[in-house]
């Protein structure tokens, strides 16, 4: 006798004979003779009694077919078989429709989910086919019932869900010295340790490109200047050695000569060792420049995984004050300023300048000249972004200016915004660590569901109760994913779990990664704080002090609960100001369909990114900074601050410095500037003319605006999804009447 049924999604439920009867009755009603209740009961009884204690839905349907075929009602059997076939097609219809859209390269939110992946190429199509096929499997077999329901009803988004079955982690900050000093094993070949700047540059690329295939998120180098500096000196020594035969003498006494900087100078008037040293410097600078050019070129052209997608790469630098480290920074900045190809702005790596008082922020600081240069480059090329090491939560008491490895105690970030620093299970560092996985709560929907409460205090209290429930669900979902991830073997991530992840050197290939991945973080994100506040009290935090205080209360509550989860589950939980791309429109579309258009809430095609002031809200940069700054300390899983400026910033780097001053004044952690940059999609020509319609070089009208989508750049808005395009069109500048941002006094 049948007792339980295994459904198609793997769930086990109690047997319900009424479902068999309803299916047979529906088939009979489509025949000329109509239904026959006695036959329906007879067939149902036979199946119930003769079936196994536990059966699948498909097996039960097979028995129904056989019973109908044995009866006199062959017409009913035919209708039942046809109906069953139609239902099977219907279940696959959504997948079919999605696949057809991919095949026909439709421009929609499925194919434009990731703006830096070309889903129109064969590799891109395969990536999307795999992605869209995997997500239903995750829903059906890997998620708990409560997590599945939260996703289904638009309360929760699980990022990179298509990678869930692979057990991969999100991102990592590469300890590049491990690669440069030991070499790398990639595929069937291996490389020797680096001995010169060119090799170091190539190995830096290979490290990130190889690891990108082992992870579903980004790759970053936390101290690009410190890691590559020794190879500038090695190259300098190599140049001296090449001169020894020409000079007819040993130059070994110059190998370790103290240099204040590596600056190209003419040789005229120089003699003896001075001439030799300057010649070696000139050659070393030229080689370093070429190595940096090659690094940028490779990071923008070598496709690391399906979809013609280059590595989602970031590099952090700014605090190495050695002559060699300064040479690396100067040449990477020069190469970035010059552009790639025909002078196009490089999309990757996302470059991050680590701003630090006493090192590079004030005029008397040793790297101040390079900071000025960085601002000049940002004014033309968007990068570098700026990471504030002086923010109260980014400081480490173990950092010392005379420590040659002080970068171990410096925060580094992913370009998109992901931050990893605090650690309950090891050193407080960014290096060799990353995010394991993250999920985002739709706090707007929670607020909408409370709008029927007339009393404001009751409405807000109801919202916090709903938020608390969803935080609990999200924490459990992340723990479930963590427990699944930790069962992976080290050999599944041959580079990450051999040379990059902290503690991985202790693992053998057949060991699980359970003992080391707790060094990473689990992120709980949120989206649409502005719309959430409008739903609760009628105004967003940019326009109301009351709303600002409520916004801070909401995110503080999230921070406190997430700290509780860290204790309860013994993981590094953190709050993330979610860098929503496809999600910004997806959440809104579903909520609007159910709740309709609510002014200030669902009346646009997107929800505002995390805790930002809405992009359409007109205010100056100072006001935006004052509102958004307090959230940075609360969102230690990652955050970012933007300022939108109008016109050509190329010749006005002071505007960039003013934004960094705001970050310093208001204790913000990470930020940058958006400005005009046009690009001819036919010849690559770029300028900042806001009215450019025709390329002055080739006459093409195929002009696109280079824009930042979340924390990274996108070479063409053709690949943006609908929601983010609407957001782009709504963006306003944060200056008063086109004037410069006011310069703050440096404290």
Phi, psi (degrees; rounded to nearest 5) at 372: -60, -40
Residue 69's alpha-carbon distances to 31, 45, 72, 595, in angstroms, are 15, 16, 8, 48
Is the predicted pLDDT of residue 93 greater than 70, yes or no?
no
pTM of the model: 0.84
Radius of gyration of the chain (CA): 30
Question: How far is Cα 438 from Cα 640, in angstroms, rounded to an integer?
Answer: 17
Annotate 297-359 with DSSP letters as a single string. HHHHH-EEETTTEEP-EEEEE----SHHHHHHHHHHHHHHHH-BTTTBPP--SEEEEEE-TTT
CA angle 539, 543, 544 (to 5 degrees): 70
Instruction: Select from 628, 640, 277, 583 the least CA-distant residue to 444.
Output: 583
Cβ contact 656:595 at 8 Å: no
- Can you give the length of the chain in residues? 747
Q: Is 451 helix (H, G, I), strand (E, B) or coil?
A: coil
Helix axes of 57-70 and 37-50: crossing angle, nearest 10 degrees = 130
In angstroms, the CA 109 to CA 318 distance is: 38
Give the strand pairing for 686-687 and 678-680. antiparallel
Among 258, 260, 254, 256, residue whose Cα is nearest residue 277: 254
Other C-beta atoms within 10 Å of 456: how many?
12
Do 727 and 614 form a contact (C-beta atoms < 8 A)? no
Strands 156-158 and 435-442: antiparallel
Q: What pLDDT digit, counting tens, does each position of 337-376 carry?
A: 999 887 888 989 999 999 999 999 999 999 999 999 999 9
Per the prediction, the chain carries an average pLDDT of: 89
pLDDT, residue 95, reads 64
Q: pLDDT tens digits, residue range 457-487?
A: 999 999 999 999 999 999 999 999 999 999 9
Summarised one tens digit per residue, pLDDT across range 599-649 is: 999 999 999 999 999 999 999 999 999 999 999 999 999 999 999 887 777
Residue 743 pLDDT > 50: no
CA distance 575 to 630: 14
Give the residue from 419, 426, 435, 420 showing the smallest Cα distance to 169: 435
Tens of pLDDT, residues 241-258: 999 988 899 999 999 999
> Does the pLDDT at position 105 exceed 90?
no
DSSP codes of every residue in 391-425: SGGG--TT--TT-TTGGGGS--B-TTSBB----SS
| Residue 234: band (very low, low, confident or very high) from pLDDT cuts 50, 70, 90 | very high
pLDDT at 298: 94
Q: Report pLDDT for 467.
A: 98
């Amino acid at each position: 006798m049948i007792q339980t049924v295994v459904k198609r999604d793997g769930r086990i439920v109690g047997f319900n004979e009424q479902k068999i009867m309803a299916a047979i009755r529906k088939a009979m009603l489509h025949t000329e003779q109509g239904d026959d209740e006695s036959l329906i009961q007879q067939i149902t009884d036979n199946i119930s009694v003769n079936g196994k204690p536990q059966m699948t839905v498909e097996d039960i349907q097979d028995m129904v077919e056989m019973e109908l075929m044995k009866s006199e009602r062959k017409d009913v059997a035919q209708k039942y078989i046809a109906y069953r076939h139609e239902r099977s097609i219907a279940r696959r219809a959504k997948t079919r429709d999605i696949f057809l859209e991919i095949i026909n390269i439709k421009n929609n939110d499925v194919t434009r989910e990731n703006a830096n992946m070309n889903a129109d190429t064969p590799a891109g199509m395969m990536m999307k086919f795999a992605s869209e096929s995997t997500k239903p499997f995750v829903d059906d077999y890997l998620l708990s019932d409560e997590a599945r329901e939260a996703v289904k009803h638009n309360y929760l988004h699980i990022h990179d869900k298509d990678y869930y079955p692979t057990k991969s982690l999100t991102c990592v900050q590469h300890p590049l010295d491990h690669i440069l000093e030991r070499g790398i094993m990639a595929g069937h070949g291996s490389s020797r340790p680096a001995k010169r700047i060119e090799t170091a540059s190539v190995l830096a690329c290979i490290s990130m490109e190889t690891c990108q295939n082992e992870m579903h998120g980004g790759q970053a180098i936390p101290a690009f200047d410190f890691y590559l500096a020794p190879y500038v000196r090695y190259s300098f020594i190599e140049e001296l050695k090449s001169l020894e035969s020409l000079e007819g003498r040993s130059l070994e006494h110059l190998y370790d000569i103290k240099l204040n900087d590596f600056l190209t100078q003419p040789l005229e008037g120089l003699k003896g060792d001075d001439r030799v040293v300057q010649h070696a410097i000139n050659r070393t600078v030229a080689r370093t420049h070429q190595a940096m050019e090659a690094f940028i070129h490779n990071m923008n052209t070598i496709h690391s995984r399906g979809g013609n997608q280059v590595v989602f790469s970031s590099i952090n630098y700014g605090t190495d004050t050695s002559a060699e480290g300064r040479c690396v920074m100067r040449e990477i900045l020069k190469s970035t300023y010059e552009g790639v190809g025909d002078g196009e702005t490089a999309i990757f790596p996302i470059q991050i300048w680590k701003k630090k008082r006493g090192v590079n922020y004030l005029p008397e600081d040793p790297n101040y000249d390079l900071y000025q240069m960085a601002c000049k480059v940002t004014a033309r090329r968007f990068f570098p972004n700026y990471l504030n090491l002086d923010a109260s939560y980014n400081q480490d008491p173990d950092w010392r200016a005379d420590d040659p490895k002080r970068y171990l105690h410096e925060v580094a970030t992913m370009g998109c915004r992901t931050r990893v620093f605090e650690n309950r299970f090891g050193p407080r560092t960014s290096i060799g660590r990353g995010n394991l996985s993250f999920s985002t709560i739709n706090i707007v929907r929670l607020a909408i569901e409370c709008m029927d409460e007339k009393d404001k205090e009751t409405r807000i209290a109801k919202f916090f109760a709903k938020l608390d429930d969803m935080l609990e669900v999200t924490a459990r979902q992340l723990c479930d994913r963590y427990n699944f991830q930790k069962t992976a073997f080290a050999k599944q991530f041959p580079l990450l779990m051999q040379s990059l992840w902290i503690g991985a050197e202790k693992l053998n290939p057949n060991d699980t990664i359970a003992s080391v991945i707790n060094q990473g973080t689990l992120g709980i994100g949120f989206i649409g704080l502005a719309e959430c506040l409008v739903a609760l009290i009628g105004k967003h935090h940019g326009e109301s002090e009351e709303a600002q205080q409520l916004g801070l209360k909401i995110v503080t509550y999230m921070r406190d609960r997430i700290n509780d989860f860290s204790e309860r589950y013994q993981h590094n939980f953190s709050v993330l100001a979610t860098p929503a791309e496809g999600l910004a429109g997806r959440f809104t579309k579903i909520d609007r369909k159910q709740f309709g258009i609510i002014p200030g809430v669902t009346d646009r095609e997107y929800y505002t990114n995390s805790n930002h002031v809405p992009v359409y809200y007109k205010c100056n940069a100072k006001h935006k900074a004052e509102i958004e700054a307090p959230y940075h300390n609360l969102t230690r899983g990652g955050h970012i601050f933007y300022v939108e400026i109008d016109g050509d910033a190329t010749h006005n780097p002071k505007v960039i410095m003013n934004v960094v001053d705001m970050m310093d004044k208001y204790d913000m952690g990470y930020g940058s500037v958006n400005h005009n940059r046009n690009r001819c999609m036919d010849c690559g020509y770029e300028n900042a003319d806001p009215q450019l319609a025709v390329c002055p070089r080739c006459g093409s009208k195929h002009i696109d605006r280079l824009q930042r989508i979340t924390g990274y750049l996108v070479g063409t808005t053709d690949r943006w999804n609908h929601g983010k395009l609407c957001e782009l069109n709504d963006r306003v500048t944060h200056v008063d009447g086109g004037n410069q941002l006011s310069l703050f006094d440096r404290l």
